[in-house]
Copies of this chain bind each other. A is one copy, B any other.
Amino acid sequence: MSNAFSLLLAHPQASLLLGPTAVMRAMLSMERELVLAQADLGLVSREHAQTVASCCAWDHQDELQVDAWVAQAASAGSLAIPLVNALKARVRERDPQALAAVHLGATSQDLIDTALSVQGRQVLTLIDEAVQRVLRALIHLKQAHGQAPLLARTLMQPAAPTVLEARLLNWALPLQRSRQALSRLGQAALTLQLAGPVGDAAVWGQQAVALRQAVARRLNLPLHPWVWQVQRDDRARLAAELGVLVGALAKVGLDVALMSQAEVAELHESAAEGRGGSSAMPHKRNPVGALVALSAVQRAPHRVAAVIGAMAASQERGLGSWQAEGAELADLMIITAGSAAAMADALEHATADPQRMGVHLQTLHSGTGTSAPSLGSDALGLAGERARLWTELERSLMEDSA
C-alpha cells in the first residue's frame, strides 16, 4: 500500500493502472498472447495453448491472491515468479501435458518490462489528456485577457512591461513540446520485451523474430529495434521527459502561486466548493494546483536521476538496478499525471485580473519615471512571432482533439 503522505500528490487512476492487480493482470495477458502466438507458429500445440490461455483469464479468485503473490515476490526476487508458479499450478491441474507450453522461452523480465509498457501507455494517455486540458485553459485565458498589460518580473523584481499572453506562451510552449516528445518516447520506450533468459530468444529458433512480431501485434505494442534487457536508455529518456513535463508544469504552478499572492492578485486558481480550504482559517483559498505541481518538481527530477543511474546494469540482467528503474519510473508516471491533472483543474476556471496588473505596471512607471511603452502592436519586437506560435498551437490542439 502506498504511503498516506503521497496520496494527495498522486493521480488515482494512474495509481490503479500501475498497481499490483492491474500489473499482474497484464502479465497474465501476456502469457496468454505468448502461448497463442506460439501455437500459431507451431511452437506449441494448439490444444495446449488453449488450455494455458484459458488458465490466463483473470477472475475474482486472482484478485484475492494478489497480496499473497506480492509477499512471495519479495523472497523470489521477482514479481513475475509467483504468478508464473500459480499459472503452472493451474495448468498442471487442468492438463499436466500442457505445462511445457507455459512461459516457454520467456523470462521474468519479459513479463515485468512488458507489463509496464502496456500499463504505462495508458498512463501516458491520461497525462496527455490532462496536459491538453491545461493548454486549452491557457488558450482560453489568452483569448480573454491576452493583451492585458502585465508587469514583467525578472529575478523576482519589476522589470518592464509585457502582456499577459507573452507569459502564457512561456507556459504553453514547453508543455506542447513535452506532449510531442512523450508521444515519440512512448513509442520507443514502452515496447514489447520478449527475448528469454539471456536476451537471445534462442529457444524459439528460427521463429524468434516472427514470434516477437506476433506477440507485439497481439498486445498492440511497438517492437524496439533491439532487446533492451540491459539497454535501458529509452526508458531513461522517457523518465527524463516525464521529469521535463513536471518541470514545465511547475513553472506554471510557481507563477500562479506568485500571481495569486494577496498583494499581487493578478490571477487566481479555479474556485470550487471544498477546494483549497483550511482546517483552521475559513478565509483561506489555497492554490492547491500549484501545491501539487510544486511538490511534483521537488520529487520527480530525483526519480529521473534514479532511472538514469540504474542504467549501469551488470552483464545480461542487472542486480538491483533494473528493479529500481521499474519502481521509480512507475512512480514518476503517477507523479506526473498528478501534477498535470492538478494544474488542469487549477487553470480551467482560473480568473485573471487585468485591473490589478495595470496597477502594478503603473507603480513601476511612477517609481522609475519611465513612460509606458506602446504595447500589443504586432509590428513591435516579437509580438508577431508570438501570434504565429499561438495560432500554430491552437491548430495543433484542434487536430489532436479531432
Contacts and interface: CB of A to CB of B under 8 A. Distances in A.
Q: Which 9 A-B pairs have the closest CB atoms?
A: A294-B320, A247-B311, A240-B240, A77-B288, A154-B317, A5-B326, A302-B302, A6-B327, A3-B330
B281 A159 contact: yes
21 contacts: A4-B20, A7-B70, A76-B288, A77-B276, A81-B277, A152-B198, A155-B318, A159-B198, A160-B202, A170-B229, A170-B316, A174-B311, A178-B233, A226-B389, A237-B241, A246-B308, A247-B310, A283-B367, A292-B320, A293-B320, A309-B309
A395 interface: no
A308 B240 contact: yes
A379 interface: yes
- A81, A107, A277, A308: residue with the most chain B Cβ atoms closer than 10 Å: A308
Nearest to A239: B240
Interface stretch (A10-18, A39-47, A89-97, A131-139): A10-18
A349 interface: no
Given A203-B381, A297-B309, A299-B328, A153 B314 contact: yes
Nearest to A12: B71
Contacts of A342: 74
A2 interface: yes
A30 interface: no
A8 B280 contact: no
A220 to B, nearest CB: 20
Contact of A237 (B78, B116, B173, B181): B181
A321 B301 CA distance: 14
Interface residues of A, number: 177
Contacts of A162: 198-200, 316
A157 B197 contact: no
Contacts of A283: 158, 367-368, 370
Given A74-B8, A240-B243, A298-B306, A226 B385 contact: yes
Interface in A80-100: 80-81, 84
Given A1-B15, A240-B244, A314-B153, A360 B263 contact: yes
A218 to B, nearest CB: 19
A312 B382 contact: no
Contacts of A115: 4
A371 interface: no
Interface in A353-402: 360, 363-364, 367-368, 370, 373, 379-385, 389
B303 A319 contact: no
A26 B199 CA distance: 48
A124 interface: no
